[in-house]
Amino acid sequence: MAAAAAAVPECDVVMAAVPPEEPELLDGDEEDLRREAESFKEQGNAYYAKKDYNEAYNYYTKAIDACPSNASYYGNRAATLMMLSKFREALGDAQQSVRMDDSFVRGHLREGKCHLSLGNAMAASRCFQRVLELDHKNTQAQQELKNASAVLEYEKIAEIDFEKRDFRKVVFCMDRALEFAPACHRFKILKAECLALLGRYPEAQSVASDILRIDSTNADALYVRGLCLYYEDCIEKAVQFFIQALRMAPDHEKACLACRNAKALKAKKEDGNKAFKEGNYKLAYELYTEALGIDPNNIKTNAKLYCNRGTVNSKLRKLDEAIEDCTNAIKLDDTYIKAYLRRAQCYMDTEQYEDAVRDYEKVYQTEKTKEHKQLLKNAQMELKKSKRKDYYKILGVDKNASEEEIKKAYRKRALMHHPDRHSGASAEVQKEEEKKFKEVGEAFTILSDPKKKARYDSGQDLEEDGMNMGGGCQQRPRKTLQHIPPAGTRGPTILSGLIPGSSKLSRSRLDPSLQSSGSWFNKQPPSLP
């Protein structure tokens, strides 16, 4: 089909059909002009055969100047212009040729091919049908009529798919249509617009720029050029192109809408940034949210808005919402380093270290800087630390707990889990409580020693102290309740008096807050402070 559309137009080497009546006798000057015109035409034919279409055009023009009433001269020049891809000029010559001779088959055929090349499939169909009226066996007209029908079908499908926002399908249809209509700016513009909406900005810009080189006042091409800049977050430059398009075509609805959206988006984003810098995070959140509702197609700008809103949420300590915003930013632009960094920090703040490591690895693979390497190293260390025993959690204290708070928590947890207290429980419970009791002692050993605590907090290997990153420890003799020292005391144990048979002396040394009846182990234990 495409091959038929690209067939080289034949040049007319004889004049159009001669009227049946005898021609009028020409005076000498007219006869000379006719012969001169024929000579120019023959020279044009020779250059045409050698594919020197510019020279052929010049000689056909000379023939027309010498004898402007000959339809075939216009037909030949139309064929030459078609070979030079000047279809609009060729269309004018072809139309002139059939106005002068409505039975000029090649003239109608060339007019139809020019219409088709320019994307006017309906007009092309009428021309090919006229050819078939004059010559019903004309196979070229039959094929071109099929081509015109195909273009009409592609146009129809593209219109439906554009409404469905199936832009890939539209691009496909326009590519097929352009095989038959290579000079159709309308098809090229629609393709370029869809390429822009698909995020294929370099391709879209290339198509629009090609049209602007031919026609710098083409409002549609100016609009698409602006659209590409708009979607690449070059909003100020985009507005300039939209305004220029509106100067060329004041009623250009798409350019008008895009210009309005671009200005609104720029204003909201700037207002949000201002509110953020002033520390008004609630207002910044609202402004970024409003900006996100302006144009869902603006992927790059919306990615930045999501990341900005994520930063606001992190400032408001809404870390889950911040992570969600950063994730949305990355979905829109998976190369957005700032969004990965922001999300990774939120993962760190929420102790989701594996996710943080993944994000920092992505960042470091993309930009191998010292800063990114250190961030990754820190996340990996926190991940390693998170997989060992959490001594703060075992004692039930905050990481910033004081020495006194650690001692108090230790006494409380030791009482709670000491095996002597669970001697009447099942073997399974006794085993579990003994394990917890050992962990309590292990935690206190580390957190009560400033040096060991510092090494633990920094994630250094603690195997030198009989421990490893998994929290293991050397086997120690099991302590009884008598061995648990009170906070701030030394010497005999604080709980020996609580065990039947313990001395009154040791009982008298109990911390007042822990004194109770010596028979409480035989009853339900009281709740500890």
Q: Residue 11: how many CB atoms within 10 A of its CB?
A: 22
Measured between alpha carbons, how far is 177 from 111 in angstroms, rounded to an integer? 18
193 domain residue, yes or no: no
Q: What angle do CA 286, 292, 298 make, to 5 degrees?
A: 160
pTM over 0.95? The answer is no
**DSSP classification of residue 527:** P
Number of domains in the chain: 4
CATH number, residue 378 = 1.25.40.10
**pLDDT per residue as tens, the chain (529 positions):** 444 444 555 665 433 333 333 344 455 677 888 899 999 999 999 999 999 999 999 999 999 999 999 999 999 999 999 999 999 999 999 999 999 999 999 999 999 999 999 999 999 999 999 999 999 999 999 999 999 999 999 999 999 999 999 999 999 999 999 999 999 999 999 999 999 999 899 999 999 999 999 999 999 999 999 999 999 999 999 999 999 999 999 999 999 999 999 999 999 999 999 999 999 999 999 999 999 999 998 999 999 999 999 999 999 999 999 999 999 999 999 999 999 999 999 999 999 999 999 999 999 999 999 999 999 999 999 898 888 788 888 888 888 888 888 888 888 888 888 888 888 888 888 888 888 888 888 888 888 888 888 887 777 643 444 444 444 444 444 444 445 554 444 433 434 333 333 333 333 333 444 433 333 333 343 333 3
**Backbone Cα Rg of the chain:** 44
Between CA 264 and CA 258 the distance in angstroms is: 10
CB distance 244 to 220 below 8 Å = no
Residue pair 245/252 in contact by the 8 Å Cβ criterion: yes
Q: Provide the token pair at 321.
A: 């919402």
Q: How far apart, in whole angstroms, are the C-alpha atoms of residue 295 and residue 56?
A: 53
Q: Does 278 lie in the same domain as 403?
A: no
Shared-domain flag, residues 450 and 362: no
Same domain for 317 and 434, yes or no, is no
Q: Return phi, psi of residue 42, to 5°.
A: -65, -40
Please identify, among 152, 179, 210, the residue that sits at the C-terminal boundary of a domain: 152
Residues 90 and 24 in one domain: yes
N-terminal to C-terminal alpha carbon distance within the chain: 91
Q: Pick the closest to residue 100 from 81, 118, 73 (CA basis).
A: 73
Residue 480 near residue 502, CB atoms below 8 Å: no
Distance of CA 73 to the CA centre of its chain: 55
Structure tokens at 317: 């300590």
* Assigned domain for 171 exists: no
471: left (phi over 0), alpha (psi -120 to 50) or beta: left
Question: Is the same domain home to 275 and 371?
Answer: yes
In this structure, the answer to whether residues 379 and 319 fall within a common structural domain is yes
User: Do both 145 and 16 map to the same domain?
Assistant: yes
Residue showing tokens 């390429």: 195
Half-sphere exposure of 147 (CA within 13 A, CB side): 32
Q: Which residue reads 């010292």 in tokens? A: 370
pLDDT of residue 466: 43
- 195 within some domain: no
Structural domain span for residue 123: 2-152
Strand, coil or helix: 350:
coil
Q: What is the CATH number of the domain that holds 456?
A: 1.10.287.110
Determine the Cα–Cα distance for residues 326 and 332; give it in Å rounded to an integer.
Answer: 10
Decide if 353 is inside a domain: yes
Report yes or no: 457 and 411 within 8 Å, Cβ to Cβ.
no
DSSP code at position 16: S
459 and 332 housed in the same domain: no
Let me know if residue 253 belongs to a domain.
no
Helices 403-417 and 427-447: crossing angle in degrees, nearest 10, is 170
Check residue 418 and give its pLDDT: 84
